[in-house]
């Protein structure tokens, strides 16, 4: 027998992926990407080398939320910990 949410007196809300706590990070990352690729960018005309170059620069940039470490350094630390 199936019981409804009303029976259990529970309140359900639907959440979007950005409402799960990642919204700020996504917005910040989008802002950083816009420094290299303005909103009007046609990505059909952007080459693989340009994308890799922008990602390398972004991953080499210290971040306040990472205690001023770079994302590349953090990934290196995680990989080393997994290999150990």
Q: Would you list the domain boundaries of the chain?
A: 43-84
Q: Please, which residues have CB within 8 angstroms of residue 48's CB and are 6 or more apart in sequence? A: none
At 65 the pLDDT is 85
At 29 the pLDDT is 83
pLDDT in tens, 21-73: 556 777 888 889 999 999 999 999 999 999 999 999 999 999 988 899 999 99
Q: What is the pTM of this model?
A: 0.62
What distance, in Å, lies between the first and last C-alpha atoms of the chain? 51
pLDDT band at 5 (very low <50, low <70, confident <90, very high): low
């Amino acid at each position: 027998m199936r019981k409804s949410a009303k029976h259990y007196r529970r309140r359900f809300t639907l959440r979007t992926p950005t409402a799960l706590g990642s919204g700020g990070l996504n917005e910040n990352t989008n802002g950083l990407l816009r420094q290299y690729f303005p909103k009007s960018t046609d990505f059909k005309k952007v080459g693989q080398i340009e994308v890799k170059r922008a990602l390398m620069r972004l991953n080499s940039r210290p971040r306040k939320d990472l205690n001023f470490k770079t994302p590349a350094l953090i990934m290196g630390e995680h990989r080393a910990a997994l290999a150990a």
